[in-house]
Each structure stands twice: as structure tokens, then as C-alpha cells.
Amino acid sequence: MSVESVTWERHDRRSRLLRFAFALGGLIVVLASWQYLELDLRDFGGATAAFADLATRMFPPHLEYAPEIVAPLIETIHIAAVGTMAAFALSIPVAYLSAENLTPNRLTYALGKVIVTVSRSVHTIIWALVFVIMFGPGALAGTIAIAVRSVGFLGKLLGEELEEIDAGQQEAISSTGANRFKTLLYGVFPQIKPAVVGLTIYRWDINVRGATILGFVGAGGIGVHLYTAVDSFAWRTVAIIVLAILFVVILSEGVSAYARTKAQ
Amino acid sequence: MVAETEQPRSTWHRPTTFYDHRVKWGIYVALAAFLAWSLWGILAGVGLSRFTEGLGYGVTLLQTMYPPRTEAGDLVRLGDRLLESVAMAMVATAIGVTISIPVAFGAAQNLVSRPIYLLSRAIISISRAIDGLIVAIIAVMAFGFGPLAGIIAISFKTVGFFSKLLSEDVEDINMGSIESVESTGASRFQTLVYGVVPQIVPRFVGLTVYRWDINIRASAIIGIVGAGGIGQLLMTAYSRYEFDYVASILLGIILVVLLAEYVSAVVRRRVQ
Amino acid sequence: MLETHDLRKVYPTGDEALTSISTTIEGKEFVAMIGPSGAGKSTFVRCINRLTEPTSGTVELDGTDLTALSSAELRDARRNIGMIFQEYNLVERLTVMENVLSGRLGYVSNWAAFRRKFPQEDIELAYEILELVGLGGMENKRVDELSGGQRQRVGIARAVVQNPKILLADEPTSSLDPETSHDVMELLTDIATDHDIPVLINIHEVDLAVGYADRLLGLHDGELVFDGTPEELTDDTHGVIYRGEELTTTEAKRAIPAGGRR
Ligand SMILES: Nc1ncnc2c1ncn2[C@@H]1O[C@H](COP(=O)(O)OP(=O)(O)O)[C@@H](O)[C@H]1O
Ligand SMILES: [Mg+2]
């Protein structure tokens, strides 16, 4: 009894020391970063004032400009929808390849993992830079960028979902004499359906946000207009565009939350 | 009563999550129509040749990217800017997390009054809805080019993310242990320190590391709009068509991002 | 009629789960296979429909050697073998009706399966069987809302709707409470007589086996060490099955089958 409590305390002391070292290390790194960036606390003091100044310049938002941003907003929504749809279609085979229990062999498994890693390790905006060169400026490049980035996200998470399916359900269906297709349809798909629907909608929601910035690199959507407005210091126009983006994003978040509860 | 003997039933319809089958089909048709409209919106006027040519350009692009540039001077500049990105992520995480603490408590329904709750929720919603690059592009105009604008943008994004998740944990706090501390006659501050803080510290550390990982990714691209870090170098090389250098930069970014993901995963596993 | 000859299974790990099992099951026999955990009971039933691939030996169902079939032929043969699982293995997110109808998947086209469109006779049969297993009116419930006993009834319904030539069950009562276990055993005996098919069930509760089965098979360490009626199961033979004791010679004649009972 007493021996137990002694070892327990010793253990706790060591982990407390470790925790302290971790916190101290973190603090030192942050301070060193501060030094490296040659930051000054006064800059941040100025930040509040600068933002207050910006806010007054933005007011009142340029309402007359509103009709001109409807079309680019719709284009933004189109980019998100088509990009997500394409990613969804492509992610199913990718998930199948990268699920350890279903992938045909080691080579296909590696292929699945490579696709997922490459897609995920590059930000949408960088994919957009690449596709603007390939397909020219415009919504097409943005859509492809959204799709390519989302394939990794959906492929990874759906693959993990596939790895966790109950093999018993699959086996029971195949023991009735069902072929592979029917076994996938009845024994596998119902198990992952909520995840498929939920994750796709969730990614669509992320993509709506992502599509608002593609215009910064010429890949279509509302971002083009925002970029121009900021560049010409038209702050009241910036305000109306940001408000419109807020509206669309919050709306899509609501739709996404509602649809995901339906998919349970 | 009609003598309704057990008729063999010969049809069966799957029950639907929607109210009835007509509503279900209505929703499916509307969704299909919306997707078709979107598809048309993106692909109208885009010929197949645009795709095939694009793929051809892709091959050319890959050829100009290979081999990536490895001259010493370029690599030093690359390393310098990568370090700048990492430092930006560090500072922004620290600032963002610090600001998040009061916001998270303000956004916990069980701890504060209604107006403070709504204000905190509004801050969170706005921060989460607006992409970091949008904040950055505005911050660049307000503060000029460089890491300061990037740090402000990333900190702003951190607040929305971090406060939301942290406030959920605060709301989940076991009220029993708060009451047991309160019942000893502790003040409100003491209750916070002894009743609330111990319950959320592990989660807090885990979330911080997780957000740091996300911030590394963000700081690597935020320079695309001039807000400091490696992204600025990327944009310069890109606009000069120095694609071999772009390749080196991308490889550098991917390396740092994967490394951060790994570190974050290891630390989070140890904390939880 | 099901006949196995020298059925043997060695797992890739080197475990010899079945040494050489030969036996025959026919008519509307209700056969219970008993034996300690790890004796090879599951392996035996799974080798029959080749959910587990036997290492050697043959399995004949009405004269067809199942071990020699191609995978397409095996699928057709599996339609004649109903299987019931310990953990029910129902598709949790589908309705009771969809689970039952999945027993008919071997008979419908891919496209019909995709649209959940089954022939009228199948649906009538499914309703009838749901009534039989005591789940009338439950067809639209999702399986994950059901109790263990109800789930196993759905599992039985899925197997029976196949109109199988034999019913296999791997520990169908192990996840159930004692009372429900009796209900399930009763249901299975009724099915054997009503549908005129043999039923082979693995079970480790000996009293349940003795109470319901026409015939017992005793498995020990992958070997068939007993084959007889419940009345023939003495304390000694029980010891053979569960503890691997040697038998006295007179009993040995009765207990150890000579190439399967006829
Ligand atoms: N998939 C498998 N891989 C390797 N060995 C297995 C496997 N399944 C069963 N075994 C082994 O085969 C033997 C018989 O197992 P099993 O048929 O499950 O017995 P029972 O159903 O009577 O409990 C056991 O020793 C078990 O460890
Ligand atoms: Mg078993």
C-alpha cells in the first residue's frame, strides 16, 4: 500500500517536471520567434487604432455596389459545389485504395496513400496557382483546385471509415450468395453512408469558404472583386463584399449542420 | 368490421428520413438541378480542348519544375523565409490562444450573462466565417507588407477556432466538482482555479498544439497576399516564372507542414 | 443432405483447427455440435459454406462438392445454405425488412438490388417469415433499435428467407439471456420440422443442446470424439469432449464414429 503511493508520487513528480520543461520550451521558442521577426509591442498597440480607422472608412458599406457582386457570389457557390462533387466522385476509389482491409494489394495501398498525402499537403490556394497556369485564369482553375485538395481530405477520412467497418455484416451478406457488388451495396455501404454524406457536406461547407479567396490568384469567384476593391482602397466596397461573404458562409454552415443531422 | 383475413402483403417501401417519398424526391430533384446549374456555370464555354491543352501545359510545367533549384544563395533565402513562417505561426498561436481564453469563457453558456455570451459568439462566428487570406489582405493594406499583417490575420483566425472548441469543453465541465469547491467557501476566482482549470488543462494543451499545426500551414501561404513568410517568396518566384525555384519552395513548405503534423500528433498523443 | 469427408483446416498461423472430420447430416435432423472453446466448432461450420477455406477434404451438399466450385458457382451454392451468427451480423443501419430481403440477394439483379426492388413473392415470403419468427409489424424498424433476441430473430429470418437446403448456426444463443436462448432454440427446431431441412448448430451450453437436439456431435481439439443422441451423452463422454479423457473400450465403440454415422 505505502509502496504503491510512493511510486505513484515519484511518477507524478517526473511528469510534472516534464510538463514544466515543455511549457518553458514553448515560451522560449515564442520569445525567440518574436526576436527573429523583430516585432515591437508598439506595432500591436497601433493595430487597434488602425483597425478602428479602417472600420470608420468602411462605414457605411457601399450598398449600391451590391448588385454587382451577385454574379461573382453565385460563381463562388458554383465553384464549391462542382469542386466538392468532383472530389466526392474521385474520393470513393481513393478511399477504397487507401483502406487497408479492402485495397487489393500493397501497391494499390501505397498508391492510395500517396494520392491522399500529395493532395492534403498542399493548400487549395497553391493548387489554384498551379491550375491557373495550366487551364488559364477563371473559375475552372479554381474548381479543379478545390476538387484536387478535397480528394485527399475525403479519401483519407472515408478510407479510415472503411477500415472500421464490421466485417461480420459484410460476411453475412456474402454468405447468402450475394456477389461482390451486392455485398458492397448491402454489407459495406450502409455502414459508411452517414460518414459519406456527413463528410461530403462538411467539406462542401469548407469549400464555400475556400472558394471566396481563389480570386486572389485569379481562379474565379468573389475574391477577384475583393482583391480589386482592397487594392484600390475602396473600403466601403470591401465592407459590402465581406458582409456578403459572411452571409453566404453562415448560410452554408446552417445548411450543412441541418443536412448532417438528417444523415444520421 | 369487414372480415379482413391476413392478406399476404406484396409491396414494401423503405421508410424515408424525409417526411414522405414525395418530399424526398423533391429534395433530390432540387439538389440535382442545383448541381447541374453549377456544373453548367463552371463548364459553359469551356471546351474539351481547354482540358487537354491544360494537361499538356501541366506536363511542360512539371518539366520546367524539374530539377528543383538548389543554388546555395536561393536555398538560404528559402530557409530564411521558411523560418519566418514558422516564427509567425509561433507568435500568432501564442497571441491567438491568449486572447481566446477570455472569449472562450465568455462563450460558455453556463458561466456568463447573456449579452457577454452573445458578443463572444459573434466574435467566434465572424472569425470562423472569414478566410485567413481575406483578413490578411485587409491587414496588409492597414499595416503594410510583412509578417506583422500575417501574425494579426492568423491570430484572428486562431481566436475563432480555439474559443469555440475551448468553450465547448468549458460547458462540459463537471458542475459537481465546481459545487464541491464552492461548498468549501471558496471565492469565485478560487473556484475557477481549483474547480475549472484542472478539468480543461490537458484539452487546452492538445488544442493549442493542434492549432499550431494549422497555423504553420496558414503561415506558409499567407505571404501570397504579402503578409510575410515563405508565401511571399513563392509569389515572387511564381510571377517571374521561375518554376524550378517554385518547386524548391513547394518542397520546403511540404516538408515543414508534414513535420509540424508529425510533431503535433506525437505531442497530442502524449498529452491525452 | 450434407456430407463432409476428411475435412481438415490448418490456419496460416499453423493452428490445426480441424484434423479430419467426416460426418453426414440429413433429413430434418436438428444436430448440435458441442465442445469447449477453441475446439474448432466455428471453423467447421464456416468451412461448409467456405467463409473459411478448408485446407483439404470435401463438403458435399446434395451431391455437389462445394470445395470444387469456382467463386461464381460457390455464390449460387451459398443461396442454399442459410447461416446464423453469434453476433447476429445484421446490417445495423438498415431496416428489418431490408435485412430479411438481403437473404434473397442471390436471386435478384445488381440493378434491382441497387434500387431495393425485390419481386413480389420475396416480399410476401419475407412478411410471412417475419410473422413466423414473431416480428410481425416490425418491418420498418431499424435493426439498431432492436433488442438482442429480436436481432437474432431477424438473423434467423434472413437465413430462412433463402429457402435453404440446410441451416447453419454458429453459437446463435451465446449473446442472449437464458430465456431468449430457449425461445431461439425452439424456433430453430420448429423451422427444421416445418421446412423439412436439417439444422446444424454450434453451441457450448450443453443443457440447451441436450434439451433440443436430435443428435449431438462432440468436438475436442479439432477431432470428432462423440456422435450420438442426447441420451447417449454420459458423464464419461462428456469428459472426453470437454477434458479430452480416454474412454473405456465399450463406450469408445459407441462414441467414436467410424467414418460418419449413417
Ligand atoms: N482466423 C484464424 N486464424 C488463426 N487461427 C484461428 C483462426 N480462427 C480460429 N483459429 C484457431 O482455430 C482453433 C479453433 O477455433 P474455433 O473454430 O473458433 O473454435 P470454437 O468455435 O470451437 O471456439 C482455435 O485454436 C483458434 O485459435
Ligand atoms: Mg466459435
Which mutation among C11, C85, C204 tests ligand 1's pocket best, with the greatest number of atoms within 8 A of CB?
C11
Q: Tell me how close the Cα of C99 comes to any Cα of chain B, in angstroms.
A: 12
Q: Are strands C166-170 and C81-84 parallel, antiparallel or unpaired?
A: parallel
Q: Is the CB of C5 under 6 A from ligand 1?
A: no
Q: Tell me how close the Cα of C180 comes to any Cα of chain B, in angstroms.
A: 27
CA C183 vs. chain centroid, Å, equals 17
In contact, A138 and A220? CB cutoff 8 Å = yes
Q: Which residues contact B221 (CB under 8 A, 6 or more apart)?
A: A123, A125, A126, B133, B231, B234, B253
Count Cβ atoms below 10 Å from residue A57 Cβ, excluding itself. 14
Contact C78 A175 (CB under 8 A): yes
Q: Tell me how close the Cα of A205 comes to any Cα of chain B, in angstroms.
A: 10
Q: Is the peptide bond before A60 cis (omega within 30 degrees of 0)?
A: yes
Nearest listed ligand to the Cα of residue C170: 2
Q: Which residues contact C192 (CB under 8 A, 6 or more apart)?
A: C28, C29, C30, C167, C198, C199
Nearest listed ligand to the Cα of residue C172: 2
Contact A30 B151 (CB under 8 A): no
Total length of chain C:
262
A107, B96, B257 from B226: Cα distances, Å: 42, 20, 20
Q: Is the CB of C13 under 6 A from ligand 1?
A: yes
C36, C167, C191, C209, C215 from C205: Cα distances, Å: 10, 19, 20, 7, 15
Tell me how far the alpha carbon of residue A70 lies from the centroid of ligand 2, in angstroms: 65
Q: In this structure, what DSSP letter does residue C29 have?
A: -
Contact A216 B225 (CB under 8 A): yes
Q: Are strands C64-65 and C56-61 parallel, antiparallel or unpaired?
A: antiparallel
Q: In this structure, which amino acid lies at residue A9?
A: E
pLDDT of res. B270:
80
pLDDT of res. C248:
54
Residue with cell 468573389: A222
Whole-number percent of chain B with pLDDT over 90: 59
Check residues C255 and A185 and name the one with the higher pLDDT. Answer: A185
DSSP readout, B13-41? ----SSSSHHHHHHHHHHHHHHHHHHHHH
Q: Is the CB of C109 under 6 A from ligand 1?
A: no
A203, A210, A229, B271, C7 from A237: Cα distances, Å: 29, 21, 6, 46, 81
The pLDDT tens digits for C89-141 are: 999 999 999 999 999 999 999 999 998 899 999 999 999 999 999 999 999 99
Contacts of A172 in chain C (CB under 8 A): 83, 85, 89-91, 155, 158
Residue B176 contacts C, CB cutoff 8 Å: no
Contact B224 A217 (CB under 8 A): yes
DSSP readout, C83-117? EE-TT----TTSBHHHHHHGGGGGGS-HHHHHTT-
In contact, A252 and A204? CB cutoff 8 Å = yes
Q: Is the CB of C11 under 6 A from ligand 1?
A: yes
Question: Where is A247: in which H helix or E strand?
Answer: helix A235-262
Contacts of B10 in chain C (CB under 8 A): 120, 123-124
pLDDT of res. B174:
65
- Beta-sheet strand order (sheet of C199-202): C81-84, C166-170, C199-202, C30-34, C215-220, C223-228
In contact, B41 and A74? CB cutoff 8 Å = yes
pLDDT of res. C256:
52
User: Please, which residues 119-178 of chain C have a Cβ atom closer than 8 Å to chain B?
Assistant: 120, 123-124, 126-128, 139-140
Q: Tell me how close the Cα of A228 comes to any Cα of chain B, in angstroms.
A: 11
In contact, C242 and C260? CB cutoff 8 Å = no
Phi, psi of C199 (to 5 degrees): -125, 130
- At residue B9 the predicted structure's pLDDT band, cuts being 50, 70 and 90, is confident
Cα(first)–Cα(last) distance of chain B, in Å? 66
In contact, B249 and B240? CB cutoff 8 Å = no
Nearest listed ligand to the Cα of residue C40: 1
Q: Is the CB of C96 under 6 A from ligand 1?
A: no
Which residue in B has a C-alpha nearest to residue A224's C-alpha? B134
In contact, C215 and C200? CB cutoff 8 Å = no
Residues A133, A137, A138, A141, Cα dihedral to 10°: 10
Contact B225 A139 (CB under 8 A): no
pLDDT of res. B18:
74
Which residue in A has a C-alpha nearest to residue C93's C-alpha? A190
pLDDT of res. B176:
67
Nearest listed ligand to the Cα of residue C55: 1
pLDDT of res. C259:
43
Widest distance between CA atoms in chain A: 78
The pLDDT tens digits for B214-235 are: 999 999 999 999 999 999 999 9
CATH architecture of B68-271: Orthogonal Bundle (1.10)
Residue with cell 509578417: B147
Check residues B215 and C205 and name the one with the higher pLDDT. Answer: B215
The pLDDT tens digits for C8-24 are: 999 999 999 999 999 99
Count Cβ atoms below 10 Å from residue A178 Cβ, excluding itself. 28
Q: Is the peptide bond before B67 cis (omega within 30 degrees of 0)?
A: yes
pLDDT of res. A49:
82
The pLDDT tens digits for C139-157 are: 999 999 999 999 999 999 9
Which residue in A has a C-alpha nearest to residue C47's C-alpha? A175
Model ipTM value: 0.90
Contacts of B88 in chain A (CB under 8 A): 33, 37
B86, C40, C207 from C19: Cα distances, Å: 64, 9, 26
Q: What proportions of chain B, in percent to the nearest 5, are helix, strand and coil?
A: 80, 0, 20
pLDDT of res. B197:
73
Mean pLDDT check: name the lowest of B92-106, B135-149, C237-251.
C237-251
How high is the mean pLDDT of chain C? 90
Contacts of A136 in chain B (CB under 8 A): 50, 54
Nearest CB partner across the interface for B10, out of C116, C120, C139:
C120
Question: 3-state SS string over C212-257?
Answer: HCCEEEEEECCEEEEEECHHHCCHHHHHHHHHCCCCCHHHHHHHCC
Contact B9 C120 (CB under 8 A): no
Nearest listed ligand to the Cα of residue C171: 2
Segments making up each domain of chain B, as ranges:
1-6+13-65, 68-271
- At residue B6 the predicted structure's pLDDT band, cuts being 50, 70 and 90, is low
Q: In this structure, what DSSP letter does residue B225 have?
A: G
Residue C95 contacts B, CB cutoff 8 Å: yes
| Tens digits of pLDDT across chain A (264 residues) | 444 444 455 557 777 788 788 889 989 999 999 999 888 888 777 777 888 888 899 889 888 888 999 999 999 999 999 999 999 999 999 999 999 988 889 999 999 999 999 998 889 999 999 999 999 999 999 999 999 999 999 999 999 999 999 999 999 999 999 999 999 999 999 999 999 999 999 999 999 999 999 999 999 999 999 999 998 989 999 999 999 999 999 999 999 988 888 877
Helix spans in B113-242 (H): 114-129, 132-143, 147-171, 175-182, 188-191, 197-221, 230-239
Q: Tell me how close the Cα of A204 comes to any Cα of chain B, in angstroms.
A: 12
Contact C98 B14 (CB under 8 A): yes
A198, A204, A205, C144, C249 from A259: Cα distances, Å: 8, 12, 11, 21, 72
Q: Is the CB of C43 under 6 A from ligand 1?
A: yes
In the predicted structure, residue B4 carries a pLDDT above the cut 50? no
Global confidence as pTM: 0.84
Count Cβ atoms below 10 Å from residue A63 Cβ, excluding itself. 11
Picking from C87, C90, C91 by the largest number of A CB atoms within 10 A of its own CB, the best residue to mutate is C91
pLDDT of res. B21:
80
User: Please, which residues 157-176 of chain A have a Cβ atom closer than 8 Å to chain C?
Assistant: 166, 168-169, 171-176
Span B72-78, mean pLDDT? Answer: 93
Which residue in C has a C-alpha nearest to residue A177's C-alpha? C75
Picking from A69, A78, A232, A251 by the largest number of B CB atoms within 10 A of its own CB, the best residue to mutate is A78
Mean pLDDT check: name the lowest of A193-197, B7-11, B39-43, C103-107.
B7-11
Residue A182 contacts C, CB cutoff 8 Å: yes
A5, B103, C27, C131, C142 from C157: Cα distances, Å: 57, 56, 21, 10, 15
CATH class of C2-252: alpha beta
C215: β partners: C31
CA A51 vs. chain centroid, Å, equals 28
Contacts of A186 in chain C (CB under 8 A): 91, 94, 98, 102, 105, 113
Q: Which region holds residue B66: left if phi is over 0, alpha if psi is between -120 and 50, else beta?
A: beta
Q: Is the CB of C14 under 6 A from ligand 1?
A: no
Nearest CB partner across the interface for C124, out of B8, B14, B15:
B8
How high is the mean pLDDT of chain B? 87
Tell me how far the alpha carbon of residue C174 lies from the centroid of ligand 2, in angstroms: 10
Phi, psi of B95 (to 5 degrees): -65, -50
Helix spans in A38-179 (H): 41-58, 66-98, 106-120, 124-135, 139-163, 167-174
Contact A30 B257 (CB under 8 A): no
Contacts of A133 in chain B (CB under 8 A): 57, 61
Contacts of C114 in chain A (CB under 8 A): 185
In the predicted structure, residue B269 carries a pLDDT above the cut 90? no
In the predicted structure, residue C29 carries a pLDDT above the cut 60? yes
